[in-house]
């Protein structure tokens, strides 16, 4: 079974039905449609009312399975990239149960907005080793749960959604052409969702801390600078490993954090605008979901054709960043 390649054979996505526009946000905090659109490229975003993270992820997964012409029972491994699970112990098993992938081993992977890329690379190692054949990779987040809805510097950015791909072992070719992943914990304070415990005395000389998580906190300018500097580098490294250069990229799909970031990175890499996929105007920043959501939309719109070379790159909290180069099936 050794020496297998990875093929991505299906994609799917899901967003909640409820929509929050820039105008709506201007009724919540001191902001304007003009500010949000000119600074971020966002016009609206989808927010979950009651749909859980697991339900959103399951909807995206079912779509991806349908495109891949597989039934849930054929899935061997399910990895859910999320920072907003329904259950702190993980939500992948709930997704496994919801879609009926009863044979699959399922676990969560947390790498914030880099989660989808990190999950794709992780599952590829199992596939290449011949351990698992059919694998679901899901990126899903319900960031609306953790946003401070009174903080205009963050609440206009984040939203909810899910995207998924099906990866399959191939004995004939390897369509994951190259990847690179990076982390820098020294910049953790630039973007986080920290736990804050309160000291609680249980017995004499026995204390624990109990509490909950805070809301998303971000130093926007720092993260902006980090993304523009590091993302072109990591894409170039992944291209180098793939023995390709930027001219070989048919489509660039970046984490949808800010249209200005997307434009600046594409410009640095000298990738023309028509090769850059963006749907940030409609969905905002959906964290781990943003790349598979943009990928799936472009596939369903017929933009992406068989054998097109796609560069994806995620970046965000951790800080983490990574890129993968693959060919569509
Ligand atoms: O997904 C994880 C990765 N995340 C990112 O990559 C996000 C990276 N950062 C960004 O995208 C941008 O830094 C932001 C969109 C968050 C902010 O854009 P900016 O151009 O860096 O604005 P800024 O933070 O420098 O703020 C400019 C001004 C400030 O006012 P003063 O100090 O110039 O008077 C802010 O107080 O805009 C003000 N401001 C707002 N005004 C209206 C900040 N947020 C808002 C708002 N509406 N929502």
Give 31 Cα–ligand 1 centroid separation in angstroms: 11
- Mode of pairing for the β-strands spanning 134-142 and 160-170: antiparallel
CA–CA–CA angle 141, 143, 148 (5° rounding) = 170
93/257 Cα distance (integer angstroms): 28
- My answer on whether 314 and 252 are in the same domain is yes
142 with 182, same domain: the answer is no
Angle in degrees, CA 56, 316, 176, rounded to 5: 75
Domain membership flag for residue 255: yes
pLDDT digits (tens, 9 = 90+) for 185-225: 999 999 999 999 999 999 999 999 999 999 999 999 999 99
In the structure, what pLDDT confidence band is assigned to residue 6 with cuts at 50, 70 and 90?
very high
The domain of 302 spans 177-186+217-327
* Rounded Cα–Cα distance for residues 94 and 82 (Å): 13
Q: What is the pLDDT of residues 119-138, one digit of tens each?
A: 999 999 999 999 999 999 99
**In which residue are the tokens 């940030």 written?**
280
**Residue 42 CB contacts under 8 Å (≥ 6 apart), including other chains:** 22, 36, 156, 157, 259, 280, 281, 284, 285
Q: What is the CATH number of the domain that holds 284?
A: 3.40.47.10
- If asked whether residues 167 and 227 sit together in one domain, one would say no
The answer to whether 167 is a known catalytic residue is no
Q: Give domain status of residue 142, yes or no.
A: yes
Q: Does 209 fall in a domain?
A: no
152 and 226 fall within a common domain: no
Question: 232 is written with which tokens?
Answer: 């072109």
Q: Which of 176, 199, 229 is the last residue of a domain?
A: 176
pLDDT-based confidence at 3, cuts 50/70/90? confident
Note if 134 is an active site residue: no
Distance 50 CA to ligand 1 centre (A): 29
Q: Which protein residue has the closest C-alpha to ligand 1 atom 23?
A: 221
Examine the domain organization and report whether 19 and 56 are in the same domain.
yes
Q: Are residues 171 and 240 in the same domain?
A: no
- Same domain for 129 and 264, yes or no, is no
| Digit-coded pLDDT (tens) for 256-276 | 999 999 999 999 999 999 999
Closest ligand 1 atom, residue 287 Cα? 1
User: Is residue 208 situated within a structural domain?
Assistant: no
Domain assignment present for residue 204? The answer is: no
Q: How confident is the model at residue 2 (pLDDT cuts 50, 70, 90)?
A: low
> Do both 105 and 226 map to the same domain?
no
Ligand 1 close to Cβ of residue 190 (< 6 A): no
How many degrees, rounded to 5, is the angle at CA 138 between CA 102 and CA 14?
105
| Distance from Cα 198 to the centre of ligand 1, integer Å | 31
Cβ–ligand 1 distance for 291 under 6 Å, the answer: no
Query: Within this chain, do residues 172 and 51 fall inside the same structural domain, yes or no?
Result: yes
| 169 domain-assigned | yes
Mean per-residue pLDDT over the chain, rounded: 97
Same domain, 146 and 182: no
Q: End of a domain among 126, 143, 176?
A: 176
98 CA from centroid of ligand 1 (Å): 38
Pair 146, 225 in one domain = no
Q: Find the mean pLDDT for residues 25-42.
A: 98
On whether residue 206 sits in a domain, the answer given is no
pLDDT(312) > 70: yes
What is the rounded CA–CA span in Å between residue 66 and residue 60?
10
Q: State the total domains in the chain.
A: 2
Residues 92 and 65 in one domain: yes
Known catalytic residue: 113?
Answer: yes
Residue 1 has pLDDT above 70, yes or no: no
- Asked if residues 320 and 112 have their Cβ atoms less than 8 Å apart, the reply is yes
């Amino acid at each position: 079974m050794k020496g297998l390649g990875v093929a991505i054979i299906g994609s799917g996505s899901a967003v909640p039905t409820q929509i929050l526009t820039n105008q709506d946000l201007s009724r919540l905090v001191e902001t304007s449609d003009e500010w949000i659109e000119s600074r971020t490229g966002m016009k609206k975003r989808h927010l979950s009312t009651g749909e859980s993270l697991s339900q959103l992820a399951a909807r995206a997964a079912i779509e991806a399975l349908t495109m891949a012409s597989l039934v849930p029972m054929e899935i061997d491994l399910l990895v859910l990239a999320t920072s907003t699970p329904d259950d702190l112990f993980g939500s992948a098993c709930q997704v496994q149960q919801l879609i009926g992938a009863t044979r699959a081993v399922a676990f969560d992977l947390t790498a914030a907005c880099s989660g989808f890329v990190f999950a794709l690379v992780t599952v590829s190692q199992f596939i290449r080793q011949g351990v698992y054949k059919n694998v679901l990779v899901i990126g899903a987040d319900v960031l609306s749960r953790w946003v401070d809805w009174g903080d205009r510097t963050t609440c206009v950015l984040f939203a909810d959604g899910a995207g998924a791909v099906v990866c399959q072992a191939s004995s004939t070719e390897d369509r994951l052409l190259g990847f690179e992943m990076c982390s820098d914990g020294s910049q953790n304070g630039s973007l986080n969702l920290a736990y804050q415990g309160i000291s609680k005395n249980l017995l004499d000389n026995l204390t624990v801390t109990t509490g909950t998580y805070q809301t998303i906190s971000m130093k926007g300018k720092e993260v902006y600078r980090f993304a523009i500097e590091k993302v072109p580098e990591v894409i170039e490294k992944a291209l180098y490993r793939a023995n390709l250069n930027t001219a070989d990229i048919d489509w660039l799909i970046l984490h949808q954090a800010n249209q200005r970031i997307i434009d600046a990175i594409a410009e640095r890499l000298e990738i023309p605008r028509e090769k850059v996929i963006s749907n940030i105007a409609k969905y905002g920043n959906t964290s781990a979901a943003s790349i598979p959501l943009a990928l799936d939309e472009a596939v369903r719109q017929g933009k992406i054709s068989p054998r097109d070379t796609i560069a994806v790159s995620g970046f965000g909290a951790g800080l983490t960043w990574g890129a993968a180069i693959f060919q569509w099936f």
